[in-house]
Amino acid sequence: MQKDYYKTLQVAKNATKDEIKKAFRTLAHKYHPDKQTGDEAKFKEISEAYSVLSDDKKRAEYDSYGRVFSGGGSAGGGQQGQGFGGFDFSGFQGGFGQGGFEGVDLGDIFGDIFGGGRGGIQRGRDISIDLEISFKEAVFGVERRVLLTKTSVCDSCSGTGAEKGSELETCKGCNGNGKVHESKSSVFGTFTSVRACGECHGTGKVPKEKCKTCKGARVARKEEEVVIRVPSGINNGEMIRLTGGGEAVAGGDTGDLYIKIHVHQDKNFHKEGSNLITSLSVKLTDALLGGEYTLQTLDGDAIVVKVPQGVSFGEIIRVKGRGVPSSLSSRGDLLIKILIDMPKKLSKKSKDAIGELKQEGI
C-alpha cells in the first residue's frame, strides 16, 4: 500500500521545508524510542517520511510517481537502506548537535536523551512575581524594592566555591579538562556525549578548602533586595523582565526575573494611549454662559479650566502636556470631558426665566 508521507508528518502537500522540518522535530521528540512516549515503529515512519520530503529531488520524485528512485525511501515499500528495520539512517552520521540529517540539529531534538544539550550550558531558573502599583505610579513610573529569597552567587567566596585564601587544584573528576565524556546506547547504536564536569562546573579546578558558607557549591540560598524600576506609561498586565535577576546556578547563566504589573484603577482618571482622560461636571448656567473651574490634576497640583460659553454635553477640553510622559521632554495631553449638571428642581423665578428663553427659541 502506498505511503502518504505528508499524512505521516501531519503537513499539507504544499508545506514549506521549514514547516516539514518543524513537524519532524515535534514528532521525533514525541516518538523517539528512548522516551517514555516513544514508539519505534512510528519513529521509523516519520524519519522515513522526513528523509524524502526534506530532499528536493526525492520529494519531486515522490510527488510525481508516488515513490523515490534515488535511494533513501520508497512509498511502495522496499527501502534500500541498511539497519533499523530497513531504513537508511546514514543521514545521522553527522553526529548529534552538529546539524546532521538534512539540517535538523538532532542534539537539539534529543538533547535530553543523549545528554549535553546545545552547548551544555546550564541556566538558573527564572522567577516570576506580581507587583501592585497605583494608577499614578503607572503613569509616571516608580521605583520599588522587593525582598526575594532565591539561590544567588555566594557572597563569601564570590562564586569561586573556595574559602578565602584557599588555593585551587586540578579537578580529579575530569583531570582538569572541565568536561566529561559519556557513552549512551540507543536504537541507533552507541553515542558519546560531552557535558560540563559536575565537580568543577566546567572550570577544571576545585578548591583545596571549600567555602564554609556554600560548601563549595558556589551558590547559596539567601534573601536579596531587588530594585524594580517601573517605566512611565506601563499598562495593567504588562511584564517587566530583569535579565539575570533570577536564580543562579554554579558554572552557568543566571535566570531572569519576570514582574507582572497590576495597576489599581483611579476613580477620577483613566488612560488612552499617551493621554489622560477625566471628566468635569459644570452647572447648566456655566454651560450656557461660560465659567471657570479648578481641577486637581494627577500630578498633584490644581489648574484652572475655562469652560467656554455654549459648551455641549460630552465636549472635550484639551490641556496640552498634562498627559502620560512618553520621554524626558514629551507628554501626552489631559482630555477633560464636560458633563452638565441638570437641576432636579426649579424655583418659580427660574421657571419663568427659562420660559422667556423658550419664547426666544433658545
Give the DSSP letter string of 283-308.
EHHHHHH-EEEEEE-TTS-EEEEEEP
Residues 197 and 102 in one domain: no
Residues 20 and 45 in one domain: yes
Residues 23 and 93 in one domain: yes
Residues 182 and 223 in one domain: no
Question: What pLDDT is recorded for position 350?
Answer: 82
Residues 218 and 324 in one domain: no
Q: What span, in angstroms and rounded, lies between the C-alpha atoms of 6 and 102?
A: 17
Provide the pairing of β-strand 168-170 with 239-242.
Answer: unpaired
Q: What span, in angstroms and rounded, lies between the C-alpha atoms of 121 and 136?
A: 42
Mean pLDDT by 10 residues, the chain (362 residues): 84 90 87 75 88 88 74 45 40 40 49 45 88 96 95 88 86 84 63 74 83 89 94 94 92 90 96 95 93 95 95 95 85 96 86 80 71
Question: What pLDDT is recorded for position 173?
Answer: 83
CATH number at residue 222: 2.60.260.20
Give kind and range of the element (H or E) at residue 206: strand 205-207
CATH number at residue 98: 1.10.287.110
Domain, as residue range, for 28: 5-114
In terms of Cβ atoms closer than 10 Å to its own Cβ (0-12, 13-18, 19+), residue 177 is middle
SS3 243: coil
Residues 153 and 237 in one domain: yes
Q: How many C-beta neighbours within 10 Å does residue 48 have?
A: 26
C-alpha 348, offset from chain centre: 68
Residues 92 and 150 in one domain: no
- Domain boundary among the residues 114, 146, 181 is at 114
Residues 17 and 85 in one domain: yes
Residues 218 and 327 in one domain: no
Number of domains observed in the structure of the chain:
4
Q: What span, in angstroms and rounded, lies between the C-alpha atoms of 310 and 105?
A: 72
Residues 138 and 253 in one domain: yes
Residues 224 and 136 in one domain: yes
The structure's pTM equals 0.59
Residues 154 and 286 in one domain: no
Question: What pLDDT is recorded for position 1?
Answer: 54
